[in-house]
Structure 1
């Protein structure tokens, strides 16, 4: 299509470093983006897995991400999540750009976690414990290093070879990484959960009172990466309460158990806009599910950068 901006993964990384992606999200929320108006993602079961469709609109732009979730892909040497993003002019719905969906998802997910951590973590937070060894784990390490001066990154995973590979990749990027274990949790200032685990990764009773946890791996009401003790002890921040109640087992399960109340859920926009103050005596938990407004904001910023 003439004039259509094609943004592949390397181009997206060049056009929009993660620090700029964090600021794009922060600016959009402070400008009044209505997170609650984002349509829920639709899921279509297919023979290979699921097809997800995530539309959104804000200001002069609209867009939709079409993503495939294929559990069998890693065995083929392919990513579990595939897809593309179509950016449109809101007034006419004329196509403006097509972006690599996997790269966009990596960038926006790590950026929104870093945005939340920037408003939740103590200013001197320097010790990160990273659960998971996949692409999102590396993306989160890099993103969190943009908002805090990390002095250590403890990588925790089930496969020692994959742990070492991520440690090496982090070190190559200038991050002070080393293999870690669940015993690293009590000394952590920041904990990032980037796994496909259906069960909690650590005992929330072990969290330091000042610790900040970001969890993004689970996306169903039956699965969770953090336990009820973490939710009960923490200030709990979510992108959107209604979405969290529909998709996040990390929130749904402690609510069902009576360990958490819906009135305690803090919308991310309230945190970013300064309408909610963090209690310094409690741990902090940000549970992200990934929402279509984040894809739109990042796609818009990348398109703007490409046309300057």
Structure 2
């Protein structure tokens, strides 16, 4: 995970422009949809193709499935086929962890995560790769799934417990990994020095954070146009007059220039972009080649 975070930061500092990444394609199908996410940078090009099948859980199959195909950019020769879900479970938390690493205080050690799915577990591991965590709190809708996740984290050596939405008041890092369409907590409770990551949706009408947090925060995004198209936490915040689009700061600006001083929380809204998959896939391929030499 630490290498994945480094790969993303290195690419941004080497001139990768997220704004130049083609937009995510969402193609309707009879039983769901294709999500198509292409990208190109340096020596590689690639595309992630996922299928979203809402009825699959009823027949004990994953809702989202797919693969990533990596090509050499010079010849467009295919060089690797990577499991799309495994790749997403690495790249999405790595993006969040990069933002946390760039925005959180160096001694930030308390993490609260909303959600109980696979992204929650991987986000805890990702944040732990960039900060020394002393406490992890999990907030979930299902008490049973929350306790199962807490037990898994404890087995991995984390000091973990179940909590409630009000526990954001004590968290230096807050991560939202849910499918919620309405705010999960009261933004007034969030510490002024906290970093909040909202990554649970890419729907302009859905958000995990509220107007209060938006109005208090310096807001960071992967790419401004993408956020205005897909990031509900940003889109709704702008519609309600809580966010000025001119004040949005991109992850690239943050990685290259560092964080400016702020008096309130930092809110990072991510929706996932094709360049992120490409950079992590390229790094995985390079690692595999090195391991076989």
Task: Give 1:290's aligned residue.
Answer: 272
- Per-residue CA deviations over 1:184-235 (Å, capped at 9, x if unaligned) read 1111100000000011100111111001001100111110111111111111
TM-score by length of 2: 0.97
Return the alpha-carbon distance in structure 2 between the equivalents of residues 305 and 277 of structure 1: 30
Task: Give 2:174's aligned residue.
Answer: 191
Pair 1:81-2:98 in alignment: no
Task: Give 2:214's aligned residue.
Answer: 231
| SS of structure 2 residue aligned to 1:307 | helix
TM alignment of 1:78-227, pairs within 5 A? 78-227=61-210
Return the alpha-carbon distance in structure 2 between the equivalents of residues 154 and 96 of structure 1: 41
Task: Give 1:10's aligned residue.
Answer: none
- Per-residue CA deviations over 1:74-117 (Å, capped at 9, x if unaligned) read 33333322110000011111100000000101110000000000
Task: Give 1:55's aligned residue.
Answer: 38
Return the alpha-carbon distance in structure 2 between the equivalents of residues 228 and 170 of structure 1: 32
| SS of structure 2 residue aligned to 1:162 | helix
Pair 1:278-2:260 in alignment: yes
Return the alpha-carbon distance in structure 2 between the equivalents of residues 255 and 78 of structure 1: 38
| SS of structure 1 residue aligned to 2:111 | strand
Q: Which runs of 5+ in 1 are unaligned?
A: 1-17
Return the alpha-carbon distance in structure 2 between the equivalents of residues 75 and 142 of structure 1: 30
Return the alpha-carbon distance in structure 1 between the equivalents of residues 260 and 115 of structure 2: 27
Return the alpha-carbon distance in structure 1 between the equivalents of residues 242 and 135 of structure 2: 32
Pair 1:72-2:59 in alignment: no
Contact kept, 8 Å, 2:166 with 2:189, in 1: the verdict is no
Return the alpha-carbon distance in structure 1 between the equivalents of residues 173 and 62 of structure 2: 27
TM-score by length of 1: 0.92
Q: Which runs of 5+ in 2 are unaligned?
A: none
| SS of structure 2 residue aligned to 1:87 | strand
| SS of structure 2 residue aligned to 1:163 | helix
| SS of structure 1 residue aligned to 2:169 | helix
